[in-house]
Amino acid sequence: MTYEVPADYGIYSFRSAGELILSAYLGDAPRLPEAKVALELTSKEADAQVFLDKRDGKTRLDIVIVPRDDKRMRLHVFATYSDAQRKEVAQIVAGLRACLKSSRGTMICPAESPWGQKLQEFVDPTRR
């Protein structure tokens, strides 16, 4: 995993064997997909919308997490993957949760993802 801060936002990149598996944008202006919402999830910390688009043997996944607290930034997770990469993508999204950056070096996150299992099963239905 790498983390870059080009301006007032952050970009995480998740790689396996040197290949990009998934990216995540943390900031106030995520680029929202034009697809229809495939799954909506809620928790006391945030709401999540999941978009899925399948084309030419690849799947495009977008997950947009909007915190209920204005002090938290939005998270836009996105990946374009093949069936062979589906399990890796599912493992990564299983841990998504809304965290609060309480100071420059401190981040507070819930111990478990409120949507982890649902996201994992949505991305990889064989895990049910």
Contact status, residue 34 vs residue 86, Cβ threshold 8 Å = no
pTM of this structure: 0.82
| Neighbouring C-beta atoms of residue 2, cutoff 10 Å | 10
Which pLDDT tens digit goes with each residue over 22-45? 998 888 777 788 888 999 999 888
Confidence of residue 128 (pLDDT cuts 50, 70, 90): low
Please report, for residues 6, 34, 38, 111, the alpha-carbon distance to residue 51 in angstroms, rounded to integers and kept in the order given: 26, 9, 5, 25
Q: Categorise residue 58: left if φ over 0, alpha if ψ from -120 to 50, beta otherwise.
A: beta
Q: In angstroms, rounded to a whole number, what is the distance separating the alpha carbons of residues 122 and 14?
A: 19
Q: Determine the distance from the C-alpha atom of residue 41 to the mean position of all C-alpha atoms in its chain, rounded to a whole number.
A: 12
Cα separation of the two ends of the chain: 27
pLDDT for the residue 19:
85
Which pLDDT tens digit goes with each residue over 66-93? 888 776 778 889 999 999 899 999 998 9
Residue 68 C-beta-side C-alpha neighbours within 13 Å: 8
Q: Which of 6-10, 24-28, 40-44, 58-62 has the lowest mean pLDDT?
A: 6-10
